[in-house]
Structure 1
Amino acid sequence: MTTTTITHAPGETRDRRPNAVREGWLIAGRDVLHWVREPWGLIFGLAFNVMLLLMFGFLFGGAIDVPGGGDYIAFLLPGMFALTMLFGLESTMTAMAEDAKRGITDRFRSLPLSSASVALGRAIADLASSALSLGVLMLGGLLIGWRPTTGPAEIVLAVVLLLWLRFALLWLGIYLGLSFRGAGATTAVQVLVWPIGFLSTVFVSAETMPGWLGTVAEWNPVSATATATRELFGNPTGATSGWLAENAVLAASVWPLVITLVFLPLAAAAYRGLRR
């Protein structure tokens, strides 16, 4: 009987076990390169948000009063930041659905990759894209007169809460993209996103709405983030009384956690359930 000795070449990696973090970064790089080659979706999405900002800020803003007083532009900008995080849901869902429909996700599944790496890569790439969009929108706000009036710690916390909401909505988008890949899936998500975005305190205070509608708007996760960031930026909140006026930062912290705890496991189950 002979014994075979296996030697490894210098520099050869011996541990080939899946590493979700490393593989997620590699897949995120692939998604970023796709945007570099075809940037129009990202550009048009950002242009649409800027258009909404200009339309509501200058076309309708003169007719809207902020409860408690304050400039409407200062009230609107943090709401637009939160709305941008919500609108990113559609791009996440569409990208995941396209990859699954074209068989790219199945190719990833055939490789010795961690089951979490594909979703993690999408999450990293989309979060980076949203951070870029948020930075551009904040710069645009500064150019039209918006100013945060608090210190650096509060401003950083406001940005963290905005990206925290986007992180939570990523898992909802990934779940929807893996679960619904038909021709009408994107339309269905738009039908979902627009009422959630507008039935909130993004554009007007809940105190200007009928009682029951204002209550619904106050319990919207987007409203929580919008109100919390207004408070942290030192801008008018439009909330002079009620639970949200006193606990906006808490609500903006808890809502994304709840969404993540619900949809992250659902997204993982949807990925495992894809046909090979």
Structure 2
Amino acid sequence: MSMSAYDGTAMMGRQLRRVRNNPGLLVLTQTMPITMLLFFGYVFGSALAMPGEQYRSYLVPGLLVATAANGIMTGMFQAAQDVHRGVTERLRTLPISRAAVPLGQSVADVVVSGAGLVPFLLVGLAVGWRVEGSALQGVAAMGLLLLFRFATTWVGIFLGLLSRNEEAAGQLGGATFILPLLSNAYIPTEGLPGWLRTLAEWNPISAVTTALRDLFGNAPVPEGGAWPVAHPIAGSLLWCAVLLAVFAPLAVRRYGRGEG
């Protein structure tokens, strides 16, 4: 194992121990999507044209992607917390790769997120959601979901290193809850006004949500949408590549510089 890979693995272990020592936050982040599924699925489902069970099948992929997008919030808060408490400065004094710390944080976040999918998916099955596609398509959907989580975590890490303050990161992270609302995660975009529909369909969450619905066999790809939604798998992969290409180098550079 190369030194940089060893450094990244060590930092991932540190991050996993950090999560284990804060079980309350873990429980909160894992139960919130389940609460939203039950609330939206039974309240909104009765108000929309879709029958309740059909809407819950439509909603599950959207909530999965909305939860993955929360990688921005968790990445931001944890990075800002380390900077604010002086942990980042101490880590910078160690003879390790400057990419090891943010990489370890992002990989650990994906591991924790992947484990957290299990209870949510079980509740989804209990309320009527099913994987209508093939097993291979289902595996591809989960892989795409975790890739999106990985990409959004890098966005959060960079913003957390930039903010350098727990309170500011918490407030800014809370604002990320609006991102799924400006997408097709909860409702179809076909009935939205033209400009708002365009904004929603160019939201990365919409592309990934559409890709998951297609791969799971829960809903067909809508016609007449923007390119990322009309070609959701390609659009999702492109969005993930863009986010990683932009924010991973920025986060590593910001960590290495250590500037306020």
TM-score normalized by structure 2? 0.93
Deviations along 1:217-240, whole A, 9 cap, x unmatched?
A: 111100000000000000024724
AA at the equivalent of 2:118: G
Distance across 1 between alignment mates of 2:11 and 2:246: 24
What SS is found at the alignment partner of 2:235? Answer: helix
Choose which of 58, 66, 71 in structure 2 pairs with 1:88.
71
**Identical-residue share of aligned pairs (%):** 36
Do 1:75 and 1:237's aligned partners in 2 also have CA atoms closer than 8 Å?
no
Q: Is the counterpart of residue 204 in structure 1 residue 190 in structure 2?
A: no
Choose which of 152, 164, 168 in structure 2 pairs with 1:181.
164
Equivalent pairs counted in the alignment come to 258
Q: Match of 1:172?
A: 155
Residue correspondence of structure 1 range 189-268 to structure 2 within 5 A: 189-191=173-175, 193-237=176-220, 239-242=222-225, 243-244=227-228, 246-268=230-252
Unaligned 5+ runs, structure 1: 1-14
TM-score normalized by structure 1? 0.88
Q: Match of 2:255?
A: 271
Do 2:214 and 2:220's aligned partners in 1 also have CA atoms closer than 8 Å?
yes
Distance across 1 between alignment mates of 2:83 and 2:212: 36
Larger helix share, 1 or 2 = 2
AA at the equivalent of 1:27: M
Do 2:206 and 2:229's aligned partners in 1 also have CA atoms closer than 8 Å?
no
Unaligned 5+ runs, structure 2: none
What SS is found at the alignment partner of 2:190? Answer: helix
What SS is found at the alignment partner of 1:206? Answer: coil
How far apart are residue 103 of structure 1 and its match? Answer: 1.2
Q: Match of 2:119?
A: 136
Do 1:205 and 1:239's aligned partners in 2 also have CA atoms closer than 8 Å?
no
AA at the equivalent of 1:73: R
Q: Match of 1:7?
A: none
How far apart are residue 37 of structure 1 and its match? Answer: 2.1
Change beyond 3 A, Cα 1:245–1:180: closer
Q: Is the counterpart of residue 159 in structure 1 residue 142 in structure 2?
A: yes
AA at the equivalent of 1:64: L
Query: Which structure has the larger Rg over C-alpha atoms?
Result: 1
AA at the equivalent of 1:188: L
How far apart are residue 126 of structure 1 and its match? Answer: 0.6
Question: Bigger CA drift: 129-138 or 108-117?
Answer: 129-138
Change beyond 3 A, Cα 1:113–1:245: closer
Do 2:189 and 2:200's aligned partners in 1 also have CA atoms closer than 8 Å?
yes
Distance across 1 between alignment mates of 2:253 and 2:7: 19
What SS is found at the alignment partner of 1:208? Answer: coil
Do 2:57 and 2:129's aligned partners in 1 also have CA atoms closer than 8 Å?
yes
The runs of at least 4 consecutive aligned structure 1 residues that moved more than 6 Å come to: none
Do 1:28 and 1:121's aligned partners in 2 also have CA atoms closer than 8 Å?
yes
Change beyond 3 A, Cα 1:244–1:31: closer
AA at the equivalent of 2:12: A
What SS is found at the alignment partner of 1:28? Answer: helix
Q: Match of 1:9?
A: none
